[in-house]
């Protein structure tokens, strides 16, 4: 039976009720900014169960103290807003003690998580300790993030009020995986600001090779900074991530070094990458996700061939691609590289489908009367000595491409737009002038002239 301290009225304040006994007995209500100790050691659990109301959230975390070199962080806990529990010792059987709590109201603040997963291969188990003040309170918060997969909270931001700032004092070190102790080495600082639309880095003294460009709001309302290694010092960084919403292990490169990438490989059952983006987001981006095939085309069915273009970072590649034929490739192209699409305006069945092949890069694209396809861009290596190949034909009842002929294309990307020179095509199959679209891409039309 629940104690009377448990608040069940939906009109009451947002509170966390912490109970000194199992099963929600002997409880005390706590509000935003309250903090304290849950357990001193395995035999001394001060709080044994808890519940919460409305927008109240509980953050359960291990103690962080950079002045104690012998402290063991092996079982460090970082758990924000867990489900109500009638038995906390069972839920957290082997934590590093003492185990603390912070109460926050998610209507007032949002947590800002930090992920260092991408640093572990290069630097080992990097540790970042952060100290800040919880907004709308005087409570000092301290947290820890480890590169071995423990995403800690840097601090909390008031993302209701434009101009709000989160200032963090930071200590950087490396954790010994055997002892769990951290050798603290570097002092740093980080200041984040909410401008009413996005969370931005105002200033930082973190290592120069740490890219903080990937700051993303998750579906649950929490923020996360997924740190990438940036050896380029570029203004923009392109990155693919192993998980949706730009989380997990990422691979980042200067945007000038991007090309097409297999995000779902042949003979695999899982997506290699599940989200992709340019950080900070770039309004001139073009993400092209398409079914991957190669020449010669023999048994490949184009029935569910898919190609989609996004001007925005893609938080969920599998969802965007839907039921398109796998494997799949992804390429990123800036508007200044003249991304050019292809449309067919043909009547005869023998001209109802086209395959474009780039011999140098190996990229292939498909277009039909019912589906726009990709043609080329400035990054595609092609000239008079290595032209694009264009094959025209139709699909049979199984979606297999039947080639009825082929020609060659050379595209000159002039300041005024792409200019196509075709050879080897029938005289009545011609390319119209390439037209710039409202989204800054270009569209070429292959037209069948009817006498």
pLDDT for 8 equals: 37
C-alpha 239, offset from chain centre? 8
Asked if residue 61 lies in contact with residue 79, where contact means CB atoms within 8 angstroms, the answer is yes
Cβ atoms of 52 and 84 within 8 Å: the answer is yes
> Percent of the chain, pLDDT > 90?
69
* Domain positions in the chain: 1-107, 338-451
Phi-psi category of 163—alpha, beta or left, where left has phi over 0 and alpha has psi -120 to 50?
left
Measured in degrees and rounded to the nearest 5, phi and psi for residue 163 equal: 95, -5
pLDDT digits (tens, 9 = 90+) for 322-334: 999 999 999 999 9
Give the C-alpha separation, 320 to 323, whole Å.
9
CB-CB contact of 57 with 105 (8 Å): yes
Three-state SS for the chain is CCCCCCCCCCCCCCCEEEEEECCCEEEEEECCCCEEEEEEECCEECCCEEEECCCEEEEEEECCCCCCCCCCCCCCCEEECCCCECCHHHHCCCCCCCEEEEEEECCCCEEEEEECHHHHHHHCCEEEEEEEECCCCCCEEEEEEECCCCCEEEEEECCCCCCEEEEEEEEEEEECCCCCCEEEEEEEEEEEEECCCCEEEEEECCCCCEECCCEEECCCCCEEEECEECCCCCCCEEEEEEEHHHEEEEEEEEHHHCCCEEEECCCCCCCCCCEEEEECCCCCEEEEEEECCCCCCCCCECCCCCEEEECCCECCHHHHHCCCCCCEEEEEEEHHHCCEEEEEECCCHHHCEEEEECCCCCCEEEEECCECEEEECCCCCCCCCCCEEEEEEEECCCCEEEEEEEEEEEEEEECCEEEEEEECCCCCEEECCCEECCCCCEEEEEEECCC
- Tell me the sheet residues that pair with 451: none
Percent of the chain with pLDDT over 70: 93
pLDDT at residue number 58 = 96
Model pLDDT, residue 384: 65
pLDDT tens digits along 90-109: 999 999 899 999 999 999 99
Mean pLDDT value across residues 180-192: 95
Which listed CATH number (2.60.40, 3.40.50, 1.10.3470, 1.10.150) goes with 338-451?
Answer: 2.60.40
Q: What is the pTM of this model?
A: 0.73
- Region 40-68: mean pLDDT is 95
C-alpha distances out from residue 429 to 199, 344, 358, 380, 417, Å: 52, 10, 20, 23, 21
- 1-107 adopts what CATH topology? Gamma-B Crystallin; domain 1 (2.60.20)
Q: pLDDT averaged over the chain?
A: 89
How does residue 208 score in pLDDT terms, banded at 50, 70 and 90?
A: confident
Query: 415 falls in which pLDDT band (50, 70, 90)?
Result: confident
- Sorting pLDDT into bands at 50, 70 and 90, what band is 302? very high
Read off the pLDDT of each residue in 196-205 and give the average, rounded to a whole number.
94
pLDDT beyond 60 at 6: no
């Amino acid at each position: 039976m629940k104690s009377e301290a448990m608040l069940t009225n939906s009109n009451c304040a947002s509170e966390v009720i912490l109970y000194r006994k199992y099963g929600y007995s002997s409880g005390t209500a706590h509000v935003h900014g309250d903090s304290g100790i849950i357990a001193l050691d395995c035999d001394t659990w001060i709080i044994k169960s808890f519940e919460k109301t409305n927008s109240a959230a509980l953050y359960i975390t291990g103690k962080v103290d950079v002045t104690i070199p012998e402290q063991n962080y092996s079982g460090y806990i970082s758990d924000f807003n867990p489900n109500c529990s009638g038995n906390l010792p069972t839920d957290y059987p082997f934590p590093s003690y003492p185990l603390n709590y912070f109460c926050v109201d998610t209507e007032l603040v949002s947590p800002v998580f930090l992920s260092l997963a991408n640093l572990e291969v290069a630097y080992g188990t990097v540790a970042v300790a952060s100290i800040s003040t919880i907004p709308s309170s005087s409570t000092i918060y301290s947290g820890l993030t480890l590169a071995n997969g423990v995403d800690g909270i840097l601090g909390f931001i008031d993302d209701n009020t434009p101009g709000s700032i989160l200032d963090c004092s930071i200590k950087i070190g490396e954790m010994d995986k055997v002892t769990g102790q951290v050798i603290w080495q570097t002092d740093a600082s980080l200041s984040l600001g909410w401008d009413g639309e996005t969370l931005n880095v105002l200033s930082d003294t973190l290592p120069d090779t740490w890219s903080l460009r990937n700051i993303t709001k998750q579906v649950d309302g929490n923020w996360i900074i997924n740190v990438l290694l940036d050896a380029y010092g570029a203004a923009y960084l392109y990155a693919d991530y192993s998980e949706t919403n730009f989380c997990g292990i990422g691979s980042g490169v200067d945007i000038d070094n991007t090309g097409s990438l297999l995000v779902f490989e042949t003979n695999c059952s899982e997506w290699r990458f599940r989200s992709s983006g340019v950080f900070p987001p770039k309004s001139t981006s073009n993400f092209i996700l398409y079914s991957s095939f190669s020449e010669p085309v023999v048994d490949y069915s184009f029935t569910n061939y898919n190609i989609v273009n996004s001007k925005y970072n893609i938080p969920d590649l599998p969802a965007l691609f839907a039921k398109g034929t796998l494997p799949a490739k992804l390429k990123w192209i800036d508007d200044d590289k003249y991304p050019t699409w292809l449309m067919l305006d043909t009547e005869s069945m023998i001209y109802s489908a086209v395959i474009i092949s780039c011999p140098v890069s190996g990229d292939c694209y498909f277009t039909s009367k019912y589906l726009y396809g990709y043609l080329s861009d400035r990054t595609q290596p092609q000239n008079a000595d290595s032209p694009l190949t264009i094959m025209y034909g139709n699909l049979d009842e199984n979606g297999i491409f039947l080639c009825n002929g082929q020609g060659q294309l050379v595209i000159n990307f002039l300041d005024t737009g792409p200019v196509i020179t075709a050879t080897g095509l029938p005289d009545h199959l011609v390319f119209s002038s390439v037209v710039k679209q409202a989204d800054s891409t270009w569209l070429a039309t292959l037209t069948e002239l009817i006498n």
